[in-house]
Structure 1
């Protein structure tokens, strides 16, 4: 019941945000692009207004390798240095993209019961970029900033496989 409530809350929030984010949307995304690569690697994280400055080291929680299964609407995140799963810490579960293709919602299976709503910026075969508001440097008492998290298809030596 709790998971269902979280999904409905996320959908409601996404519906409210969709008109705002669709105006900012610069590219038409296609969810099938997530299946174009078995793995995606975070290549850059930057703060709104400063795309030339990579701040991955300040936001390690959003950095890693990800796997997406659009057929089952499942995702799982992995550490980029070891390939170990982040599943037990909220790094795996269900996802959906809103009908207007501007909002990406994550509903983790485990970890703190919450829904993560992200704005899709770019989604194609070469790039997957989302943005979301978080506390600066992920310190809860800091002001919120919008970060952009850029991913590219990963072809490196670490091979991952989904746990669920």
Structure 2
């Protein structure tokens, strides 16, 4: 009986240490995919290469620049050109998306076009910013080495109004 009491007291003491330690660390706020619905449109505001956040290279990556719309209810997305508002859907700029359970990976599955799946790392997602990163060829030239680009979006409030095709 005495061994049981000692073991029981040890377990209670260990449990109190572990629970107090868990209160001491603060968790990072998790991205909420519903934040994509907080704005009807999102605009690419900056593209930069890993390690060079001060240098905007949007001009070198026109394929990732545009206005986007996200429908978390249907898990649908569509991209649009910033100058005309024309849809990029026929060229693979629309389809289904999902965010993995750990909320760290954002996956696109286009309806059309040459790409079947695009995997992106979700860097930040809240009501004011949506940022992802992914590995691509530098300047999107097939013979260049791979780099990680960060693509930053903010809610779009400009004059172009877009509507999802599907």
TM range (shorter): 0.7 to 0.9
Partner residue in 1 for 2:123 = 121
Provide closer, same or farther for how the CA distance between residues 112 and 55 of structure 1 changes in structure 2, counting only shifts above 3 A: same
Which sections of structure 1, spanning at least 5 residues, go unmatched? Answer: 1-25
Partner residue in 1 for 2:145 = 143
Which sections of structure 2, spanning at least 5 residues, go unmatched? Answer: 1-27
C-alpha distance in structure 1 between counterparts of 2:86 and 2:125, whole Å: 25
1:158 is matched with which residue: 149, 157, 160?
Answer: 160
C-alpha distance in structure 1 between counterparts of 2:95 and 2:87, whole Å: 12
Structure 1 or 2, whichever has the larger Rg, is 2
CA RMSD of aligned residues (A): 0.9
Partner residue in 1 for 2:15 = none
- What SS does the corresponding residue of 1:32 show, helix, strand or coil? helix
TM-score (norm 1): 0.83
Alignment of 1:45 onto 2:47: yes
| Superposed displacement of residue 28, structure 1 | 2.1
C-alpha distance in structure 2 between counterparts of 1:48 and 1:155, whole Å: 28
| Superposed displacement of residue 113, structure 1 | 4.3
**Number of equivalences:** 139
Provide closer, same or farther for how the CA distance between residues 55 and 33 of structure 1 changes in structure 2, counting only shifts above 3 A: same
